[in-house]
Structure 1
Amino acid sequence: MAKVSSGLAYPERFYAAASYAGFDGSADSTVGAVASKFSNETALLLYALHKQATLGPCNMPKPKSWKPIEHSKWTSWNGLGDMPSTEAMRLFVKILEEEDPGWYSRVSNNVVEPMVDVKMNQNPEVVVAPDNGNAYPEMKTVATVNGHFLESQDKDVVSEGLEVVSVYDQWVSPPVSGKHPKARYEHGAAVIEDKMYIFGGNHNGRYLNDLQVLDMRSWSWSKVEVQERTDGMTSPCAGHSLIPWDGNKLLSVGGHSRDPSETLQVKVFDLPTCTWSTLKTYGKPPISRGGHSVVHVGTTLVIFGGQDANRSLLNDLHILDLESMTWDEMDPVGVPPSPRSDHAAAVHADRYLLIFGGGSHSACFNDLHVLDLQTMEWSRPIQQGEIPSPRAGHSGVTIGENWFIVGGGDNKSGVSETIVLNMSTLVWSVVTTVQGRVSLASEGATVVLSSYSGEDILVAFGGYNGRYNNEVNVLKPSHKTSLQTKLTERPVPDSLSAVQNNTNATRDLESELGMGQEGKTREIVMENTDSERNIPKVEEMNKNLVAVLKAEKEELESSLANERMHAQQLRQELTEAETRNGDLYKELQSLRGQLAAEQSRCFKLEVDVAELRQKLQTMETLRKEVEILQRQKAASEQAALDARQRQSSGGVWGWLAGTPPDQRANIDES
């Protein structure tokens, strides 16, 4: 959206534009006077927007069809529906800017001032328009480091119906509507689909368990009505972490409560059903705690430190795999951070876990520790830039390689600076500073990352700095431009991802070479013009400078050549590694094919063996049957032989008659 540069704030800017366009704000305004300056379509649209801004949605009866002008005006106005008045004002001025960019230069102060009859009600943050008394919420601005408040003409309206300041690197308070949540700190906050969810927290020593939601499209608060389940609602807690998960779920990890469990509990809130449940996990979970840090890395949650129910400080490390729901206690090598709670944690490049600050029972810290999640090794790198002061109870959020830290305290006062760490170069810098006892300089506040009009914004809520807060503040960071300028003023240390940044370093070296040559050449020219009387000396100095520049140039070119050679070697090694990986993958695919063929062959052999075993069993049965038949046959043959012998002996009568055996045989033969 093009920024309106009239120098007036709403609604003043709107009434000035309406006056110039030909609308006097009365109900009898017609399109004819405006059509002389604009086309009929533009005049109708401006008329409708003016009516919407001053009278609200169209509730007039539809004119008769035989009144074409009135019918067109009604149709245009009615088509805006329930568009908010501030949005109608914004569109009115925007269209006027597009149609007539120089309109404001032709409007004198004598014309503008009478048209702006604005009354202030009891709330200095609300402006009442003169036509119908509609309230237009105005933006509050937090004082900057210089103690000045941003003027209304410096605001860039970017919201849909509500004004949200998009001034870079300044905290502002959007015009939030709805019933505000109870003031609190040590709560949990998470963003899902342009909505910030707030759960639990501490208010006057009382733990909370309400779930509130801020719609960052309309900037309105509402309370989530939790549905009862058999396992009941989650108990009130504070010092926990709220993590968005699986697109439509919230994970509440740990926290202090009145009746703490022995182990760390993970609660799940399902947005579609508005129900709480306990996440069923396996393995050995950590002991219960609060003030710990939780970061979401890939499909795991990494939990570090905190304070248990007995107020004992911790520095242990646990990982929960969200796919297998299994806990794993890690034992990294190296020197871990000292036991602490209320610190901040972030992850860089899905590999490096960064721990900053926190506190013990008697001191606050400003040390920075890094854990390589692949090698599981702790290190304590050297911090660069404007090293932050010790603090605890701060909150952080990452945008790319930049880690923004907001708030915190040192047991004496709140921290007023909003700082940022470039996680690749480990360089700190200050983004902005607030003044006074504001919620941004407090402990236990939350900061989340959201987007508005396609740009990243930080949204802070709550905190405690002598009083409990429930304010919402927004900051639009300019880290993509300002941080690069700040970093070039300092020597860059070893990067956590040097190989990834090698190409960028080569480009920066080339840029530095060109800028350095140009800057020194300009200095030489200026010295020549200012030293006309000492031309010989100047020429000699120029020769010396040229020699120095040539030497520096040669040195830089040599360094650049080395960097390019190193980059070429890295690219060659990467190509070779990819080639080896390709060959290994092909070999793996071939082995998988051979294995599949062998498995198929083994299966066939198993089938053949089973068939042979079945045949062996059948042959054994047949063998037994053959033996039985053989015995039966032998018995039959023996019986037949005995019968023949009896017949050949003549029987009993022949024996009794005394016939000799030879004669009996002859008798038998005859």
Structure 2
Amino acid sequence: MASISPATPYPDKYHAATRAGRVVERTASDETKLLLYALRSQATSGPCVIQSKWGMENEARAKYETWCNLGKMETFEAMRLYVKLIDEERPEWWKSVPSEADLAREDAEVEARSARSPLKPRGNKSHHRAWLAPPSRLGSILSEYPAGLAALAPGRWATPGHRHGGGTAVSVAVSESPPARYQHGACVAGTKMFIVGGSRGSRFLADAHVLDLKTLEWSALHTPSGADPLPACAGHRLLSHEGEIYLVGGAFVGGGWLEPKRSLSDLRDRESVVVLRADVDANARTIEWKLAPCTGPDAPSARRGMSVTRVGDEFVLFGGEDRGRDRSYKNDAWALHVKTLRWRCVHAGSSRPRDGSGKKNKGGNNAYSADVTTTQSEEVVPRARCEHVACAWGDDQLIVHGGAGASSAGCFDDVFVLDLATSKWAAWRPAGPTPAPRAGHAAVVIRDRYWCVIGGGNDATSVGELRSAALDLRESRWVDLGADADAADESDAATSDDADESDSSSSRCAFPTPAVCGEGMSACVVESASGDAALIAFGGYDGATRRDVQAFRFPDAFPAAPPPSPAKKKEKKEKKAAGTAGTSSAPLERATSLDSGGAKTQSDSSTSASTSASTSSATDALASDNLRLRGENARLRDDARRVLAQHTALANALEQTERDRARAVADRDATAKSLAASRTAAAAATAALDEARGEIAAAAGERDALRARVEALERRVRDLGGEEEEEDKTPKKGWFASLLLGDD
């Protein structure tokens, strides 16, 4: 293959850029992908052929409209703009252009992963799309990003009350956050995050708190006067659905529970899982819990540590620790329809291991044979577990990861997919570096693609030392996030000046582990319509019970790692300059004492230091400009998203107008045809009337002629009758008889 350089002529340079573009599109934004597709189509096939958009899927329509907007652009201009866009997205791309064989091999690997993945393709019928950003099914999509989170620096964890990594920290004092806890419930509803219950040592908590994401102020929620307070609980799950908050499952201690007009026993003595619905006042000051009247032929047993995930209009419950006497672990699955509050059993589960080994999984390798059980029909079923995580895929699939089994099973690192429509499980082995086994971790899905995992623990790693992980649900691959914070700092410190100036982020972590990370912490995601996303973590146990609030704002290019902040770069340069000055001071003193040329040497050293300081200032200025340009670029991307949304809305309105106009034209044509038919019928009726009038006129003429003849006959009869009276004295006959007899 011929080498590629900026001086390579067209169309060779364009063809090389298309190969590089296939790599760029893997991490590019939706707008960039659309534009690359349109320019490539224009350069290959010419202007877009106009066609009806009626019935097009969202993705096909977006591609069609973007291509049409290029109009009659020349082929060479389309090639040039395509290469320019690749230059902007991936500078110096020509240094590593993949060959067709490499791309074919990668495509084959992607197809193989897709063939192995049990996840269903998601189209518009499931309110998802292939690579255009859809509304999330797991978190709240806000019209505007909360002001309290907008100041966060992307790509870095922010610790309350501190500045972290050069970014602006969350302005919440630690003293204002709720008491320390773990195994609590947390969810986001609108612009508020709710925290309920939890455990602190051997004591369960019964309080509730709310964080206003706009002002980042905590408030305690109180029980209204006359209402029954929530019993202390832990190991439950908190979910939101259409603005309402639900508490599902958990372990309860102390306190009775009264429902209007009905007295119930303690929640801890219930045989079926508890489902409570919260009534929060408009000012988010009070919260009243009511027992949800669930129905169904059966219900899941009372348990804690299970996963409860919103999938469409259902809450899907899997696994957990049974609250009965045996405290057994479960692997059954149930679904509660939120609107009808009716339970249905999705899968009854099984407890018989496939291999009977029950090996303890302490390492980081997948142990699917030890983490899978089977039913009598050899169906794959996850081993019974608790303290795992789960997320939804589309409207009919549940994904489960990790958790802890019985004492002989240890912690798991496996991934399973449950098809809610067929009630079938499938083992899933994503490619990439598999995270270490863990339980008690937390996970959220951002941008309907990346399942981000934090915290957890196992019996082979110290608490708080498990690294964060991210699973690309679309590519069926665990993302290689790069070096974590400490390793990244050491790597940055070891790099040379030239490498530091290049601002390469290859050694940085795209999703670092939070400073406070342990078991039983909660994680909530907040996303806006413009594409902003943030993860908010609270509490946990890492040897001590925590009350820390930590937030991570995902960069637009996630999972690409963000560049180091200007403040951090400046700090490294100052440390490096200080180290250089310390090592060069002794030789300088020796040179000054040995000869009279010391003054000149010191002068040269001062000049060098001045030049170094000037270079450092210029570097800082460039870094500041770079940060400013990145911010402007992010704002431009947001503007582009809004413009694209407005363009789509206007296109839909225009299409509706075209349909209305087509219906009006059809109605007009039908009316014209009906009027023409009426005119033809009227003309035929007029002709028939004229013909009838002619016939009437002819009949009138015949009548007049007959009348004249009758009168003539009558006159003749009268004349003949007078002569007869004179000549014949016989009796007189009537004129009519004479006429009939023919008498003269």
Normalising to structure 2: TM-score of the pair?
A: 0.41
Larger RCO (CA within 8 A; separation ≥ 6): 2
Normalising to structure 1: TM-score of the pair?
A: 0.46
